[in-house]
Amino acid sequence: MSAGAALDATELLERVRTGELSARESVEAAFERIERHDGALGAFLETSRGPALERADELDRSRARGGEVGPLFGVPVALKSNMCLEGREANCGSRILAGYRPPYTATFVQRLIDAGAVPVGMTNMDEFAMGSSGENSAFGPARNPWDLERTPGGSSSGSAAAVCAGLVPLALGSDTGGSVRQPAALCGISGFKPTYGRVSRYGLIAFGSSLDQVSPLARSVRDLELVMSVISGEDPLDSTCQPLPPLEPLARREDLRGLRIGVPAEYFPDTLDRAVRARVEEGVAELARLGAEPVEVRLPHTEHGIPTYYVVATAEASSNLARYDGVRYGLRVEGDGTLQGMFAATRERGFGAEVKRRILLGTYVLSSGYYDAWYSHALKVRSLLLRDFEQAFETVDAIVCPTSPTPAFRLGEKTEDPVAMYLSDVMTVPTSLAGLPAVSVPCGFVPGGAGELPVGMQIIGPAMADAAVLAMARAYQEATAHHRRLPPLALEEARA
Amino acid sequence: MGRSDTETVLRTAELARLAIEPDEAERLGEQFARILAAFEAISRLDVSGVEPMTRATRLVDVKREDRPRPSLPLDEALRNAPRRIESYYSVPKTIGGEG
């Protein structure tokens, strides 16, 4: 059943539900694809064939006995390596957590399992989710299935590459400043960052706590809605998780009449890649053809998004990553034998260059004498960025713009220049700082790389408008076929 | 600026409990200066009268009843510790003289 490479989860579920496929066959096929292609892709840091097949057999036996068939019954899923599943290595792409096996399971992972999904492995990522290309992984970068010399984006690089190549139909990533939307765009798949607080963070290893959100990646928006309906909702174990029921997808509409979409000039600067601009403008035109009314909006503080993000996120990271000190888990290097020496030697050996850079930056902006000028100031600019969006949403229902200013770039292209790498997040960080829901969907292709490279279009909504944002993106996909295109290796797999 | 950037990095590294070699500190100092220069535009922005955004949602924190419930068994909780003595984490001696 190698045709599984071309199916989205909804189609796969249909085959499993009708009995055409068993849960075991569905999961086994995923492992066969992983075995054939992951050597070249580097999407997974760990796979768990034994436990996954056992779980699939359990599901099949339960169904044979007349047991419940959950909403994700028999669907293989990949988890980013910063997610806790009891006993599976969650190393966050870092040497400092190599070998770390959490003693508990994240709320959102447990909900996937309870819905019948089968975790097949932990995916590659930029160390502690810090990066936009996957190259900050201590275990080597994942590769883009459209062109193996290019990045799949980051930091959820392995989750995006795995879905793009059709190894699994669904994966979870985490999005702090664009870490799911940007790789979704660069890989030509769909990725959704929920409103902050819509999904519990219990069991997600922290980077920037006021920004981090668990975010799904899939081949279609309808699959994103399906996953959200399973993982979202109240969790007493996360005090920032909103006390709301799980997200329910909105009913299908014939068209988008009556909806106003804002097109912000600040997201279409002269420096924007011309081919990317053309594809996103075609996406806006398609939404207009479906009945939505495009309106110009202004988000005047957009240019301040990157600095604000890199002050706020690094400050939070410097605090969150203080716990990796060689005492409770992970690597320990004794150093000069003193306690302070052990801390410093462990952290020096365990963290990679970008993580150190961000810990230093975050410690600096929080340190006495610089706090007011940098951290406190950035929090005020963060308010201005949120105000921009709130003012725009007084007149429009959603904002449409590119997800990334360029298609997938070459591995190695930006590794020497941290500022250039940071700028690749320019279209995603303002939404993260404002805590808003945003989806990235493929909106076409541009010449490049080994042939063509995908382009992503971002649809941003007001806080808590998650279902409306997804419904608009679903309507777009029902009218277009960009999300149906497969990279060469998945295409061969589907034809085999 | 070179020397003071390196000193800033070394001072900050001490606060962050990171051992940094002098040549690495110099390289990081240069990058630091470049990053902060690129970020300087926000410091020129007038934010008088603007409240800092200290949380990502405007809703209040969620509270639950403070009731004891089952937690991890000790061995499970300590399973990932690089060094332990019985039911404790083990660290280098921190108080007292030689020993």
Please provide the DSSP assignment of A133-160 as one string: SSTT-TT----BTTBTTB---SSSHHHH
Give the pLDDT mean for B3-18.
91
* Integer CA distances (angstroms), B27 to A111, A358, B22, B33, in order: 45, 14, 9, 10
Active site residue A376: no
Tell me the mean pLDDT in the region A188-198.
Answer: 97
The answer to whether the bond into A81 is cis (omega within 30° of 0) is: no
Closest CA to A455 of A306, A282, A322: A282
With a CB cutoff of 8 Å and minimum separation 6, the contacts of A263 are: A284, A294, A295, A296, A297, A399, A400, A401
ipTM of the complex: 0.91
Contacts of A435 in chain B (CB under 8 A): 56-57
Has residue A7 got a pLDDT over 90?
yes
Percent of chain A with pLDDT over 90: 93
Residue B95 touches partner A, C-beta closer than 8 Å: no
> Tens of pLDDT along A148-168?
999 999 999 999 999 999 999
| A34, pLDDT greater than 90 | yes
Is B89 in the A-facing interface, judged by CB distances under 8 Å?
Answer: yes
Q: What is the mean pLDDT of residues B24-45?
A: 90
User: For residue A213, how many other CB atoms are within 10 A of its CB?
Assistant: 24
Do A380 and B47 lie within an 8 Å CB cutoff?
yes
pLDDT in the model for residue A96? 98
Does the annotation count A155 as an active-site position?
yes
Q: Could you confirm whether A179 is annotated as catalytic? A: yes
pLDDT of A243-253, one tens digit each? 899 999 999 98
Say if A87 is an interface residue toward chain B (CB within 8 Å): no
Check A22, A48, A157, A179 and give the catalytic one: A179
Cβ pair B39:A380 closer than 8 A? no
pLDDT 10s digits, A300-309: 999 999 999 9
Instruction: pLDDT band for A320, please (50, 70, 90 cuts).
Output: very high
CA triple A225-A12-A34, angle to 5 deg: 100
Instruction: List chain B residues with CB under 8 Å of A234.
Output: 62
Query: Tell me, what's the pLDDT at A285?
Result: 98
* pLDDT exceeds cutoff 80 at B2: no
Give residue-wise pLDDT tens across range A138-149.
999 999 999 999
Mind giving me the DSSP string for A343-407? HHHHHHHHS-HHHHHHHHHHHHHHSTTTTIIIIIHHHHHHHHHHHHHHHHTTT-SEEEEESSSSS
Span A31-48, mean pLDDT?
97
Q: Which two tokens stand for residue B38?
A: 């690129």
Give the per-residue pLDDT at A271. Answer: 87
Q: Is the pLDDT of residue A455 over 80?
A: yes
**Residues belonging to chain A:** 496
Q: Is residue B16 predicted with pLDDT exceeding 60?
A: yes
Inter-chain touch B19–A361, beta carbons under 8 Å: no
CA nearest to A347 within chain B:
B18
Mean of pLDDT values over A337-360 = 96
* pTM strictly above 0.90: yes
* Residue B46 in tokens: 């007038």
Please give the mean pLDDT across all residues of chain A.
96
B50 Cβ under 8 Å from any chain A Cβ: yes
Say yes or no: B53 contacts chain A, CB-CB below 8 A: yes
Whether the predicted pLDDT of B56 surpasses 80:
no
What is the per-residue pLDDT for A9? 97
Residue A316 DSSP SS3: helix
Q: Which residues on neighbouring strands pair with residue B89, listed in sequence order? A: B84
Is residue A417 very low, low, confident or very high in pLDDT (cuts 50, 70, 90)?
Answer: confident
pLDDT at A2: 53
CB contact under 8 A, A360 and B12: yes
pLDDT-based confidence at residue B1 (cuts at 50, 70, 90): very low
Query: Contact A304/B45, CB-based, under 8 Å?
Result: yes
The rounded distance, in Å, linking the Cα atoms of A371 and A27 is 51
Label residue B60 by pLDDT band (50, 70, 90): low
How far are the Cα atoms of A476, A484, B58 from residue A254, in angstroms, in the given order? 11, 21, 34
Instruction: Give the mean model confidence (pLDDT) for residues A96-113.
Output: 97
Given the residues A155, A174, A424, A432, select the one marked as catalytic.
Answer: A155
C-alpha span between A457 and A442 (Å, rounded) = 6
Mean pLDDT of A327-340: 95
**Where residue B99 falls among pLDDT bands split at 50, 70, 90?**
very low
Please give the pLDDT value at position A352: 96
Q: At what angle do helices A377-392 and A305-320 cross, to 10 degrees?
A: 130
pLDDT band at A422 (very low <50, low <70, confident <90, very high): confident
CA distance A101 to B79: 9
Chain B contact present for A456, CB below 8 A: no
pLDDT at residue A95 tops 90: yes
Q: In this predicted structure, what is the pLDDT of residue A333?
A: 97
Six-digit token pair at A178? 């664009």
